Structures are given as C-alpha cells and as structure tokens.
C-alpha cells in the first residue's frame, strides 16, 4: 500500500523529509517534488530499487536515470574528474536546474550509466530534496514522474492515479505550474555540449562555455 504525505507548497517539513529518507534507506521508492518537476527516486546505489523504478516507468535500460546530490563534495566522490569549465558551471548554476554529465568514478548501477559511460548529476535548488539526500548520505535517483513516452504532468491527482500502488511513498506538494525539466550539459565533451535544453536556455550555457 502506498503511503501519502502532504507537504505544504514550498514547505520544508523535516519530519516528512526524514520519513522519506527512511523509505529510501530501506530500499523504497518515493514520488517527490523537486525544483523542476515531480520525480521518482530511490537510493542511487541500491540496484534492485533502481531496477524497480525502471519497471514502474516502463523505461528502457538504454535511457539512464539522473541523480541528485546535496553537495559538490558528494558529486566529486562520484565522478572521475571535473574540468575547470565543469567547476565553473557548477558554481554559477548550482544549486539549480542544470544536470551535468560526467565520467563515473565508482561502480554504479548499470541503469544510471549511459552506453558511453557517463552519469548525470545535479544539486537541486530545493531545501526539502537536499534534506532528504543529507539524511540518506547518498545521492538519490531523480527521474520524471511519468510513464516512458508520456508527457510529465504537474498535477498531483494525475500522478497519484498512475503511481498509487506502485511506489512506496507519495509526497503531495500540490500541483506544479511549471514542469520544465533540467537542462543537461555533457562536460566530458570538448567543448561541453548542451544535450537537452530545459529551464536554463542553451544561450546561457553557451555564454559560459565561450568565455
């Protein structure tokens, strides 16, 4: 049975965050609000939980999920290297809706690594999310709360209909008006390349890259 907890819009209820963290630490799957869209998440190092998310979303293994971290130090522990330009992008746009693609340092669940050996990570501008990650002391998976191939909805009632009974915990923070995903930049490329334009426009990224 899926448990539903209500979080006031923009709220930072630490008790709810602690409960979400407990579910994650026990291998559970949560549906939760972020600074961009509602996401589905779990412990990024729990391979069984990651596999379950892919089954729930009917998502192809060739389309890896992204991760959320709570600090640059956590990101650094996961990636093989950070170029000066990657560090500059992190300083300018983090916390915020920018996902960076790095080469991984550690062995990660295969569903988080692309075929060309890259992982996607960002630090969200969302205190509730950050507190969950800090409580877990591990990055968490962040994939949009939708079935594969279907547009993401910001209406929590629709998400409950789709995912109730499939995830362990739903955190209801009301409807989200803007459901634009994060922008993705591959910082392993030379020069770095915008893979997906989202909240942050390509022109903003190009200004930094071309300095």
| 92 vs 78: CA distance, rounded Å | 20
pLDDT at 114: 96
Structure tokens at 178: 């803007």
DSSP 48-104: HHHHHHHHHHT--TTSPPEEE-SSHHHHHTTBS---HHHHHHHHHH-SSSEEEEE-B
pLDDT of residue 86: 97
- The model's pLDDT over 30-66, given as tens digits with 9 standing for 90+, comes to 999 999 999 999 999 999 999 999 999 999 999 999 9
Q: What is the pLDDT of residue 106?
A: 76
How many domains does the chain fold into? 1
pLDDT of residue 108: 85
> ∠77-80-81 over CA atoms, to 5°?
100
pLDDT for position 135: 97
Grade residue 10 by pLDDT with cuts at 50, 70 and 90.
low
Lowest average pLDDT, out of 3-7, 19-23, 106-110, 157-161, goes to: 106-110
Predicted confidence (pLDDT) per residue in 124-170, tens digit = 999 999 999 999 999 999 999 999 999 999 999 999 999 999 999 99
Q: What is the pTM of this model?
A: 0.95
- Burial string for 55-70 (b: 16+ CB within 10 Å, else e) reads ebbebeeeebbbbbbb
Our CA angle for 88, 130, 123, nearest 5°, is 25
pLDDT tier, 98 (very low <50, low <70, confident <90, very high otherwise): very high
Domain containing 49 equals 3-209
Confidence grade of residue 107 (pLDDT, cut at 50, 70, 90): confident
Q: What CATH number did the domain enclosing 151 receive? A: 3.90.870.10
Nearest to 102, CA basis, from 123, 121, 89: 121
> Where do we find the tokens 């300095």?
211
């Amino acid at each position: 049975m899926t448990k539903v907890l209500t979080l006031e819009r923009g709220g930072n209820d630490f008790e709810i965050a602690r409960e979400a963290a407990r579910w994650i630490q026990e291998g559970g799957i949560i549906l939760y609000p972020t600074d961009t869209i509602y996401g589905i998440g779990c412990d990024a190092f729990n391979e069984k939980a990651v596999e379950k998310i892919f089954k729930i979303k009917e998502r192809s293994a060739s389309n890896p999920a992204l991760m959320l971290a709570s600090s640059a130090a956590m990101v650094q522990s996961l990636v093989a290297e950070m170029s000066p330009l990657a560090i500059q992008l992190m300083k300018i746009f983090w916390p915020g809706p920018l996902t960076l693609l790095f080469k991984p340092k550690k062995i990660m669940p295969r569903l988080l690594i692309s075929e060309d050996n890259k992982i996607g990570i960002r630090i969200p501008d969302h205190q509730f999310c950050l507190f969950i990650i800090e409580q877990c002391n591990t990055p968490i998976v962040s994939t949009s709360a939708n079935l594969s191939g279907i547009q993401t909805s910001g209406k929590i009632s629709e998400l409950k209909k789709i995912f109730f009974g499939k995830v362990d915990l739903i955190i209801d923070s009301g409807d989200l008006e803007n459901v634009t995903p994060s922008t993705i930049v591959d910082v392993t490329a030379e020069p770095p390349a915008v893979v997906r334009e989202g909240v942050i426009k390509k022109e903003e990224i190009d200004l930094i890259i071309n300095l």
